[in-house]
Chains A and B, each alone.
Chain A
């Protein structure tokens, strides 16, 4: 059974149809890259899968481990093991980052009937995961994302992913705005989490990220549909030729 089955998904935002019938099948252990020009619907797919209220599903279905994902609230999806790393992580004034992380972790543990972590166990876990992404103490004691640099925000997203250990991780343009050092750090954080039972959907505009996070499949999205799928070599082809050559292929259909 595949982990995620997206069938003929149609999504609108602000009354405008963006995804026009998208199919995607993701098995455990696979990394799928979603590429495409601006406005093709890449981020819409990520946000719709995570349950953002401004993205209305108008048709199709999504099964996560055989369950109807679209019937779940965003928080239920998260607790079931779907994680989205935000393109623009939100600053949350007055909420301490480590307090927030503990609440998130315990929400999930409670959902799965696992005992909540006490302060000591939590700090041990945090220290272990923080090392991997070079998260320092000050980032943990500050308010969530408040005053974080662009790179720090993205590192904090992957750090959360490492703590929450999702089954399916969706990275929404995690590479945008990152310098090469931060990109390497984030990529190694993701690679460290690649296991046979965990899957990734990596949404990106650029091939650059995919030299560090090597995908099993690459899909090209254009005008709300997947117009081409292939292996990792497709990303290189796109990098060399740009997205222009995809469009005529679509027009000729």
Chain B
């Protein structure tokens, strides 16, 4: 009891008015989420998991649950690949049928509103929903769960290959006041199926809001799922996102995360390799400037033998920005012949930028291959000189090296229009950051 009392109660009135209805199990889950959030509160820097990320500013703002907003179609403009042929648009946490484009998917594939799926795909949703998300220990997941109402649901039946990427765009905005949204994504890919799901998080420029998302991906036996997360929230917004994936035997999951926006951003990616022969890729690229903070926490849990995991996270930091990278790899006692590789690199463009990075290997099996490497620093002076000695100006040489640095993650994007759009976004933002660096020197 005393532990509960230590944490200040936040969002209390919002929690009192949290959504109800739907199946009984869901109501129970919401109540459990609310109770756990009340007990956990907003994490502080005394919590090991948030040691370098002070999220207390989130608790200091009295966010209210988001309602409807005006001009939503316009709010999709200016973000990467929001004109995708198949797109699910979720506005302030509610699925928007008018803005969504659901045609062109193979027979049997379902992509649409999670609220509808609670009725139309009741069995599947009940079987999978909330099975991976950690309500017990993760405060923001508990908060999200208390407010579960809607989001995106994708179901691919066994053996079906979906050729067109499914783009889920989460739009957050407010006509007045500070709002918070708690969207959910549930993707269930059946045995032998293949699908690409892109999640984009966007918001009104300059608006202060909290986007607190939870996504769960289930990859069936011998299935392949490619996931992209594009975070382009308002530069005044807070983004907390938890991605949980479960892969079965011989399944393959890849995720590429691009964090371009947000004032305080916390991404958690937790992948469980729960069948022999599974393979998981978690790559990320983040760009921070000003006083922004981007925290990536990844966990790859090798629960079964003969699985591979590959992880490359790269950051480019300017201004007085901060980044955190924590890469946990667990190899369970059973998981012999694990092959895990983790690389984490960050480029600091200014003296004021900082990063805290930590690989965290917990290995309980003895016949495994685990490597990790971290490199933090400035651009290589010798490389700059080499390029200049071939006639390129300092700025040209520097830009070429920075683009090459980012390109190694960008080139992993298999959806070409998304890759091209991200390249433009990324390099435009970089050009601004570098102009600022040049202005100071």
Say whether A and B bind each other. yes
Alpha-carbon separation in the docked complex, A213 to B109 (Å): 70
Alpha-carbon separation in the docked complex, A103 to B393 (Å): 11
Say yes or no: A92-B390 contact (C-beta < 8 A), given A103-B400, A107-B396: no
Chain A positions within 8 Å of B403 at CB level: 94
**Which of the 9-residue segments A18-26, A83-91, A220-228, A232-240 touches chain B?**
A83-91
Chain A positions within 8 Å of B383 at CB level: 90, 92
> Do A94 and B391 have beta carbons less than 8 Å apart?
no
Contact of A74 among B382, B385, B407 (CB under 8 A): B385
Q: Hey, what's the 0/1 contact readout for A39-74 against B, CB within 8 Å counting as 1? A: 000000000001111000000000000000000011
> Do A75 and B392 have beta carbons less than 8 Å apart?
yes
Chain A positions within 8 Å of B390 at CB level: 75, 78, 100, 103-104, 107, 160, 164
Contact of A107 among B381, B386, B391, B408 (CB under 8 A): B391
- A123 an interface residue at 8 Å Cβ cutoff? no
Say yes or no: A89-B386 contact (C-beta < 8 A), given A94-B407, A95-B401, A103-B400: yes
B376 to chain A, nearest CB (A): 16
B residues 397-424 in Cβ contact with A at 8 Å: 397, 400-401, 403-405, 407-408
B397 to chain A, nearest CB (A): 8
A residues 100-151 in Cβ contact with B at 8 Å: 100, 103-104, 107-108, 111, 143
> Do A50 and B389 have beta carbons less than 8 Å apart?
yes
Contact of B389 among A51, A95, A143 (CB under 8 A): A51
Chain B contributes a number of interface residues (CB within 8 A of A) equal to 23
- B427 an interface residue at 8 Å Cβ cutoff? no
Say yes or no: A90-B396 contact (C-beta < 8 A), given A53-B381, A78-B391, A164-B391: no
- B290 an interface residue at 8 Å Cβ cutoff? no
Alpha-carbon separation in the docked complex, A95 to B397 (Å): 11
Say yes or no: A107-B392 contact (C-beta < 8 A), given A53-B385, A86-B386: yes
Chain B positions within 8 Å of A74 at CB level: 385, 388-389
> Do B393 and A75 have beta carbons less than 8 Å apart?
yes
B389 to chain A, nearest CB (A): 5
Q: Hey, what's the 0/1 contact readout for B328-348 against A, CB within 8 Å counting as 1? A: 000000000000000000000
Seed contacts A78-B390, A92-B386; 9 additional CB < 8 Å A-B pairs:
A74-B385, A74-B388, A74-B389, A75-B397, A90-B383, A90-B385, A94-B404, A94-B405, A111-B391
14 A-B pairs with C-beta separation under 8 A: A75-B388, A75-B390, A75-B391, A83-B389, A89-B386, A90-B382, A92-B383, A92-B386, A94-B403, A94-B407, A95-B401, A103-B400, A107-B392, A111-B391
Interface residues of A (CB under 8 A from B): 50-53, 73-75, 78-79, 83-84, 86, 89-90, 92-95, 100, 103-104, 107-108, 111, 143, 160, 164
